[in-house]
Structure 1
Amino acid sequence: MEKLPKAVVFALAGVVLLIIVIIKSSVVIESGQAGVLFQTLNSGIDRENTYGEGFHIIAPWNDMIIYPVRQLSVSDQMKVLSVNGLEVTVDATVWYKPEYSKLPYLHQEKGRTYKDDILIPGISAAARSVVGRYTPEQLYSSKRDVIQNEILEEVQNKLASQYIIVSEVLVKDVTLPIKIKAAIERKLEQEQEALEYEFRLARATKEAQRQKIDAEGKAVANKILSASLTDKILTEKGIEATLKLAESPNSKVVVVGGGESGGLPIILGNQ
């Protein structure tokens, strides 16, 4: 078999080398990612530029370090102490992402493990600081939203110079010691029963007042009516009633006046 000419060999070697260089120099950054360029023969990390999505050509001796920059989340269960020293467990989720324009600084100063080295310790410290202000009863009953907002504020303050953006803290659960939880539930039940009793008592008092006012009104009305019913009015009313009865087919004899009735009509006989 004849040997290939040296020119062809060199040409093939050049093509292979060119392909390697192109592959090594081509970088594709996917959606939701960004890159940090490490310049081997220059000053190291390019601190001035964050490389966005798409196709990039770099020198083959350089390296592109790619980070996710979309919203990320981390969940953690933290054991912390309340204001009176009792241990509680806070189950929280934090939404975060690296600061896009400061990504080169994040990589250079914190590295790829910034979540474990910086973020999670910051969350734990914030949770300890916030939960330590409240009693177990406050944590169990009515302070969930307040705790979330305060932990978020604490985390944001602690990570303000760490090139990490924290957008939300969600406290999913606050777990108390079993005995403390049972005692709080008993107390809440007793308070609810007391409120229910006060409500029933207030309703009964209002009903009694209503009945008293109604009875007093009726008494006044009867008093006024009695004062207005003179003998003359009674006689007139009796006559009106007698005339109506006289028109009835059952009536036999109607005697007007006389007797012990004070002049009122007397009806005698019926069917």
Structure 2
Amino acid sequence: MDKLPKVAFPAIIAAVVLIIILTKSAITIGSGEAGVLYKTFDNGVVTDEPPLGEGFHIVAPWNKVIVYEVRQQELFEKMKVLSSNGLEIQIDGSAWFQPVFQDLGKLHQTLGENYLQRVIQPAIRSAARSVVGRYTPEQLYSSKRDAIQDEIFVETKKILEKQYIKLNEFLVRDVTLPSTIKEAIERKLKQEQESLEYEFRLVTAQKEAEKQIIEAEGKAEANKILSASLTDKILQDKGIEATNKLAESPNSKVVIIGSGDSGMPIILGNQ
């Protein structure tokens, strides 16, 4: 077996070293991710350039790439806060957030990879305490949930914008009150509903009574006008007209006997 040329060993060693270097230098950024470049011999974290986007990248083997998820993420929080009258309320909420892509280097430099625990959770809890403290338990339970949700979102967003994080939405999923308070509020709401229904029935009955009075007054006024217009002559003409119609009926047998006191004929007949 022939011996390998002396130049072959350096070539093999160089190839192995090259493979190792390429392996350490090749970086693949996945879907929905971005990479922050850290230059070991050049001022550390790169903050004045956009982060590495999705796909394949080659970096110097002595540098590092820290990969972050930049798609929208969700944080679910259960928070115990105090209402305006000092009662403990539990708020279940969800925050939808994502790092600001262009500022990912600054985010890594100032907060690091655990920015969720360092900034987002404290910001949400602080905003929730501030907002819920303005309302009573009854308002939190019934009419002000949307307002609370919007106010927590606005206050949290103001904090996170300064920390290179974009808050897309905050949702209040549930508001839990102490059982005794909840039952008292439900009883009060039920009583208010029954009171409103009773008032509605009273108003409806009153309107119906007013309608009947108006109709009765209208009929009385009509009868009064009609009575005033019916003279003896008109009544006599109407009687003659009715008598003629009865006489013309083929099913009637009419006998005129004489006339009454008013001068009207007296008619007897059968079908």
Same-fold call, TM cutoff 0.5: yes
Percent of pairs with identical residues:
59
Structure 2 distance, partners of 1:150, 1:21, is 52
With structure 1 as the length reference, what TM-score do the two structures score? Answer: 0.95
SS at 2:84 equivalent: coil
Give the corresponding residue for 1:22.
22
Provide, for residues 121-169 of structure 1, a one-character-per-residue CA deviation record: whole Å limited to 9, x for no partner.
1111110000000000000001111111100111012223211111110
Give the corresponding residue for 2:43.
43
C-alpha displacement of 1:269 = 4.2
Structure 2 distance, partners of 1:192, 1:268, is 67
Structure 1 distance, partners of 2:268, 2:110, is 120
Cα distance, 1:40–1:253 mapped onto 2, change above 3 Å: same
Match of 2:254 among 252, 255, 258: 252
Provide, for residues 38-66 of structure 1, a one-character-per-residue CA deviation record: whole Å limited to 9, x for no partner.
11122111111222122211101100111
SS at 1:250 equivalent: coil
Q: Work out whether residues 246 and 254 of structure 1, in 8 Å CA contact, stay in contact via their aligned partners in 2.
A: no
**Structure 1 unmatched ranges of 5 or more:** none
SS at 1:159 equivalent: helix
What amino acid does structure 1 have at the position aligned with 2:252? Answer: N
Deviating above 2 A after TM superposition, structure 1's stretches of 4 or more consecutive aligned residues are: 1-6, 268-271
Give the corresponding residue for 2:67.
66
With structure 2 as the length reference, what TM-score do the two structures score? Answer: 0.95
Give the corresponding residue for 2:139.
138
Give the corresponding residue for 1:267.
267
SS at 1:88 equivalent: strand
Provide, for residues 58-115 of structure 1, a one-character-per-residue CA deviation record: whole Å limited to 9, x for no partner.
1011001110111111001000000100001000000111111111111111010000
What amino acid does structure 2 have at the position aligned with 1:253? Answer: V
Work out whether 1:187 is the aligned partner of 2:188. yes
Q: How does 1:51-90 map to 2 (within 5 A)?
A: 51-90=52-91
SS at 1:251 equivalent: coil
Q: Work out whether residues 152 and 168 of structure 1, in 8 Å CA contact, stay in contact via their aligned partners in 2.
A: yes
C-alpha displacement of 1:6 = 3.2
Larger deviation: 111-120 or 7-16? 7-16
Give the corresponding residue for 2:99.
98
Q: How does 1:195-234 map to 2 (within 5 A)?
A: 195-234=196-235
C-alpha displacement of 1:255 = 4.1
Q: Work out whether residues 80 and 89 of structure 1, in 8 Å CA contact, stay in contact via their aligned partners in 2.
A: yes
Q: Work out whether residues 26 and 58 of structure 1, in 8 Å CA contact, stay in contact via their aligned partners in 2.
A: yes
Give the corresponding residue for 2:153.
152
What is the total number of aligned residue pairs between the two structures? 269
C-alpha displacement of 1:268 = 2.9
Structure 2 distance, partners of 1:268, 1:153, is 95
Structure 2 distance, partners of 1:104, 1:136, is 43
Structure 1 distance, partners of 2:85, 2:113, is 38
Q: Work out whether residues 251 and 267 of structure 1, in 8 Å CA contact, stay in contact via their aligned partners in 2.
A: no
What amino acid does structure 2 have at the position aligned with 1:251? Answer: K
SS at 1:48 equivalent: coil
C-alpha displacement of 1:2 = 6.4
Structure 2 distance, partners of 1:269, 1:170, is 89
What amino acid does structure 2 have at the position aligned with 1:129? Answer: S
C-alpha displacement of 1:265 = 1.2
SS at 1:47 equivalent: coil
**Structure 2 unmatched ranges of 5 or more:** none
Q: Work out whether residues 35 and 52 of structure 1, in 8 Å CA contact, stay in contact via their aligned partners in 2.
A: yes
Cα distance, 1:174–1:269 mapped onto 2, change above 3 Å: closer
Provide, for residues 220-270 of structure 1, a one-character-per-residue CA deviation record: whole Å limited to 9, x for no partner.
0001111111111111111111111112342231246x333x101111343
